[in-house]
Chains A and B, each alone.
Chain A
Amino acid sequence: MTDTGPTAIKTTVPRRILDVRGLSKHFPVTVGILRREVAKIRAVDDVTFHVHAGETLGLVGESGCGKTTTGRCLLRALDPTAGEIIFDPGDVEPVDVAALKGKALKVLRQDMQMVFQDPFSSLNPRWTLLDLVGEPLVAYGVSRGKALETRVAELLRSVGLRPEYMRRYPHAFSGGERQRIGIARALALNPKLVVADEPVSALDVSVRAQTLNLLADLQEELSLTYIFISHDLSVVQHICDRVVVMYSGRVVEVADTDDLFSAPLHPYTEALLSAVPKPNPDAAKNRIVLKGEIADPANAPSGCAFHPRCTYAKDICRQQAPPLTTMESGREVRCHLAAELTLAGVN
C-alpha cells in the first residue's frame, strides 16, 4: 500500500497508526413485539480514512453525520457492522480492532482511550478522583495502594490539577476541571491514540481555550495521536493537522487542515466553512446559506446525500452516489464535480 501523503515535500512517510477501511455501522429500525426489522439507519456507511502517528485528525460534521458513532466504533464501544480498523501501535504487530474479542480487546484498549463530551455524566459522582483516575490502573492491575496514589498524583499534576484534591469527589469541581479529570483518566495507561469526542463543546470560552492548550501540550509531551471529533470548525482548525468531513454517515472530504480551510473541494465543506460565525465584524459576509435540512441517515436521498441542498447539483448527483476519489493533489473528496468546481475557503 503506497502512502498518498498530502504534500509531496514531506520526505519521510509517516506511519499510519490507524487505517480505517470501509467501516460501517447500521442500526436496525424495528417495530412491534417481535422487533421485525423494517429499515436500517446507516449511521456510518463505508467510512475510509487513516491517521498518522503523532498527528491530530479532526472528524467534523453536523449532528447525525456519524462522527460520534465512528469514534465509538474505533474504540469498540460499539461493534461495527462491517469494515476493518487496522491499528499499528508501532512496537507490536498491527491488529484489526474490528475483529478483536475478549482478552485481546482488553489488551488493545490500553493503547486507545477516549475523552468524553459531557464532563458531568462521564464521571461517576460517587467516586473520588483517586478512584476515577486510578480506575484503568486498577483494572489492568498496573498499580495499587501507594504506587497507585503516586501515579494518580502525577497524572493530576500533568493535567494541571492539584494532587491534594485526589480524595475529593467530582461535584467539587467545575466543568473545565472535570474535563481535566477525564483527560487524566484517559492518559492513565499511557495510550498511543486518544479519541476525544467533542471534548470542549460543553465548556465556556475561556476554559475551552485552556483545555485546548492542555491537549496540545500533552500531545507534545507524550507523543499522542488524537482523533478529535467536533462540530466546531474554528476549534478543529486550531488543533487539527488533517480533517475528515462527514455528512450523513459518509466521508465527503479528507484534507490537510490548511488546504481544507483555504480551498475546500466539496460543496458541503464550503457551505460549512461559510456558515461559521467569525469573530470579526469586518469579515466578508457573502455567506452561503444552505436550504433545507441535514439529510437523515435513516432516509437518505438518492445519489449524493447532499444533492438536495447543494447549489451546484446536476442530474448525475441525483442519480449516482459519487465514490470517494483521490484527486491529483492527493486530496480525497466524494463529489462528482470536484474537478470542475472552484470553491471558496475562509483564508
Chain B
Amino acid sequence: MSDKTAAVPTDSVTPGPERLALQKRVDLSVASPSYLMWLKFRRHRLAVASAVVVIMLYVIAAFAEFIAPHDPEKQNALNAYQSPTQIHFFDNSGQFHLRPFVFGTTSVRNPDTFELEFADDTTVRHPIRLLVRGDPYKMWGVFQSDIHLFGVADPDAKFFLLGSDKQGRDLFSRIVYGTRISMSIGLVGVLLSFVIGIIIGGISGYFGGVVDIVLQRVIEFVRSMPTIPLWLGLAAALPSDWSIMQIYFSITIILSLIGWTGLAQVVRGRALALREEDFIMAARLSGTSQTRIILRHMVPSFMSHIIAALTLAVPEMIIAETALSFLGLGLRFPAISWGVLLQEAQNLRSVALAPWLLAPGGMVVISVLALNFFGDGLRDAADPYRN
C-alpha cells in the first residue's frame, strides 16, 4: 500500500479521445434534427464535394449572361471551328505574368489547301481581366449590361476557352447558357413530379385499402411503359411552330409524366411506415388534431426523405432532356441546352475536326454524377436517428 500510484492499472485512466467523444455527445443532446442531419451528411465526403459542384452549376445557370464571356449567338464565319484558346502565364521572352493572358492570332492562308490557318502571334498579349466590358446582354431579360465576369478587353482577340462551333460561336459561353436550361428542366420537371407524386402517394399511403391498391396498380402500369418510345411519340407530336417557352414546358410535362411514380412510391412508403409509429398514436391519444399530426409529426418526418428522393430524380430528368434534344425531338435551335449543343457533335466529321464539341457531354456527366452523390448523401442523412 506504500506506493499507491504504482498499483494504478494503466487502463483505469480515461484516455483523451473518449473524453472528447463525451463532450461531443453532451452537445448533441440539444442538437436539432437538421444539425444531426448535417453531421451525418458531413461524414459523406463525396456528397459534400458534390454539393459544392451542384451549387456551382446552379450559380452558373442563374448568372449565365454575366459568367459567359461572349454572346452565345454571336456568329463569325472567320472563327469557325477554332480550337480551345490556350491560356499562358509566360510570354515569348519567358517572363512570368501573374495575370494570365492569351496571345493574339495571325491568319495565314495555307498555300496547299487554301484553308485559312491560325497561329499564335506571340508579340501581342491580351490579358484576361475580371469584370471586362464585352458583348451587351440583358440580365434575366431585364438589366441591360455589358460587363462580364472575365474576358479579354479587345473585342477582336480570339478567346474561346472550349473552342468554337461551325458558326464561330463560343462553345464555352453556349455551355454556360445551356446549363440554365438543362439544369432547370430537371428542377422544374421534378417539382412537377413532386406535386403529382406527393398528392397521389399521400392519398395512397394515408387512406390505404382499395384506394391504395388501385393507385399502386396505376403506378405499376405507368412504370412498365417503355419511356423512350413514349417520350419520342409525345415529343414528336409537339407543333413545330411553338415558341421555345412552350416547347420547354411541354417537354417538362412529358418528362414528369413518368417521373412522378418513383416519388409517389417514396411518399406512400413513408406515410405507411409513419402510420404505424407509436408516436403518431400517442399524439392522437394526446388530443392532437389530425391536421397538426400531419403538419407537425408526419411532414417533418418524411420531408428529408422526399428531398433526397427529389435530388436523385433530377439527374434522370437531365439525362432524359439531353437524350430527347440530342435526337432532335426535345428542345431545338435556337434554344440552347446541353442536348441541343451535342446535336452538333452528331456527325463524325465534325467530331474528328473539332472534338471539343463533345464538351457539353462532359457537363452532363459531371452534373449527373454530382447530383447522384449529393442525393445519396442526403438519403443517408435523412434519418439521423437510425444509428
Is there direct touching of A and B in the complex, by C-beta distance under 8 Å? Answer: yes
Q: Give B208 Cβ to nearest chain A Cβ, in Å.
A: 11
Query: Which residues of B are found within 8 Å of A117, using beta-carbon distances?
Result: 278
A139 touches B282 (CB 8 A): no
16-42 of chain B: CB within 8 A of chain A:
25, 28-33, 36
The answer to whether B278 touches A118, judged by C-beta atoms less than 8 angstroms apart, is: yes
Over the window 43-84 of chain A, the binary record of Cβ atoms lying under 8 Å from chain B Cβ atoms (1 yes, 0 no) is: 000000000000000000000000000000001010000000
Question: With the chains together, A114 CA to B285 CA distance in Å?
Answer: 8
Please indicate the chain B residues that have their CB under 8 angstroms from the CB of A77 in the complex. Answer: 281, 284-285
User: Does B130 reach chain A (CB closer than 8 Å)?
Assistant: no
Question: Which of B46-54, B173-181, B233-241, B286-294 forms contacts with chain A?
Answer: B286-294
Dominant SS among interface residues on chain A:
loop
Instruction: List residues of B (236-285) whose CB comes within 8 Å of A's CBs.
Output: 277-279, 281-285
Which of A117, A123, A172 has the most B CB atoms < 10 Å from its CB?
Answer: A172
Contact A35-B209, Cβ < 8 Å, known A123-B279, A125-B385, A168-B30: yes
Residue contact B213 to A124, C-beta cutoff 8 Å: no
Partner of B385, one of A109, A168, A171: A171
| Contact assessment for A116 and B287 in the assembled complex, using a CB-CB cutoff below 8 Å | no
The reply to whether A171 and B28 form a contact with Cβ atoms under 8 Å apart is yes
Q: From residue 78 to 120 of chain A, which have CB atoms closer than 8 A to chain B?
A: 106, 109-110, 113-114, 116-118
Name the residue on B nearest A106 (C-beta). Answer: B287
State whether A110 touches B285 (Cβ < 8 A): no
B297 contacts A124, CB within 8 Å? yes
Say whether B288 contacts A168, CB under 8 Å. Answer: no
Q: Are A121 and B28 in contact (CB under 8 A)?
A: no
Q: Tell whether, in the assembled complex, residue A185 and residue B286 are in contact, meaning their CB atoms are under 8 Å apart.
A: yes
The answer to whether A136 and B301 touch across the interface, beta carbons within 8 angstroms, is no
Contact B30 A122 (CB under 8 A): no
Instruction: Mark out the residues of chain B between 319 and 340 whose CB falls within 8 Å of any chain A CB in the assembled complex.
Output: none
Q: Contacts A121-B277, A168-B30, A171-B385 hold; do A116 and B282 have CB atoms under 8 A apart? A: yes
CA distance A196 to B286 in the complex (A): 15
Q: Assess the B279–A124 pair: CB atoms within 8 A.
A: yes
For B131-161 the 0/1 string (1 means CB < 8 A from A) is: 0000000000000000000000000000000
A189 to B288, CA, bound (A): 13
A33 CB contacts on chain B under 8 angstroms: 210, 213-214, 217
Partner of A169 from B30, B300, B301 at Cβ < 8 Å: B30
Report how many residues on chain B are interfacial, defined by Cβ distance under 8 Å.
30
The interface size of chain A toward B, counting residues with CB under 8 Å, comes to 34
Inter-chain contact A126/B300, CB cutoff 8 Å: yes
Given A169-B29, A171-B28, A172-B28, check contact A121 B279 (CB 8 Å): yes
Contact B30 A109 (CB under 8 A): no
Q: Are A136 and B287 in contact, CB atoms less than 8 angstroms apart?
A: yes
Give the complex CA separation of A170 and B289 in angstroms. 23
Closest beta carbon of chain B to A39's beta carbon, Å: 18
In-complex Cβ contact of A139 among B33, B214, B288 (8 A): B288
Q: Which of B82-117 contact A (CB under 8 A)?
A: none
- Return chain B residues, CB-CB under 8 Å to A165: 29
Q: What 1/0 flags go to B297-332 for Cβ under 8 Å of A? A: 100110000000000000000000000000000000
Query: Which residues of chain B are within 8 angstroms of A123 by Cβ–Cβ distance?
Result: 279, 282
Report Cα–Cα, A136/B286, bound state, in Å: 5
Q: Main SS of the interface on chain B?
A: helix
Chain A, residue nearest B287 (CB): A139
Name the distance in Å between B302's Cβ and chain A's nearest Cβ. 11
Q: Do residues B286 and A168 form an inter-chain contact, with CB atoms below 8 A?
A: no
Asked if A144 lies at the interface with its beta carbon under 8 angstroms from chain B, I say: no
A121, B278: Cβ atoms closer than 8 Å: yes
> Please, how many angstroms separate the alpha-carbon atoms of A167 and B29 in the complex?
9
Chain B min CB distance to A73 (Å) = 13
Across the interface, do B297 and A109 meet the contact criterion of CB distance under 8 Å? no
Interface status of A154 (Cβ within 8 A of chain B): no
Q: CB-nearest residue of chain B relative to A131?
A: B296
Given the complex of chains A and B, what is the CA–CA distance between A300 and B137 in angstroms? Answer: 81
CB neighbours (8 Å) of B284 from chain A are 77
Contact in complex: A110, B287 (CB < 8 Å): yes
Which chain B positions have C-beta within 8 A of A121? 277-279
Given contacts A35-B210, A171-B385, A185-B286, contact A122 B28 (CB under 8 A): no
A126 and B25 alpha carbons, distance in the complex (Å): 17
Please state if B30 and A116 are interface contacts (CB–CB under 8 Å): no
CB pair A109 B279 closer than 8 Å:
no
Partner of A168, one of B29, B214, B217, B289: B29
Q: B278 contacts A116, CB within 8 Å?
A: yes
* B288 engages A135 (CB within 8 Å): yes
- Are B29's CB and A172's CB within 8 A? yes
Contact residues, B206-243 vs A (CB, 8 A): 209-210, 213-214, 217
User: A122 to B301, Cβ gap below 8 A?
Assistant: no
The CA-CA distance from A165 to B210 in the complex, in Å, is: 45
Q: How far is the CB of B118 from chain A (nearest CB, A)?
A: 63
Identify the B interface with A (CB < 8 A).
25, 28-33, 36, 209-210, 213-214, 217, 277-279, 281-289, 292, 297, 300-301, 385
7 A-B pairs closest in CB distance: A172-B29, A122-B278, A136-B286, A139-B287, A125-B385, A124-B279, A121-B278
Q: Can you list 16 residue pairs at the A/B interface with Cβ under 8 Å?
A: A75-B285, A77-B285, A109-B285, A113-B286, A122-B279, A125-B33, A126-B301, A135-B286, A136-B288, A138-B288, A139-B286, A168-B30, A169-B32, A171-B385, A172-B29, A185-B286
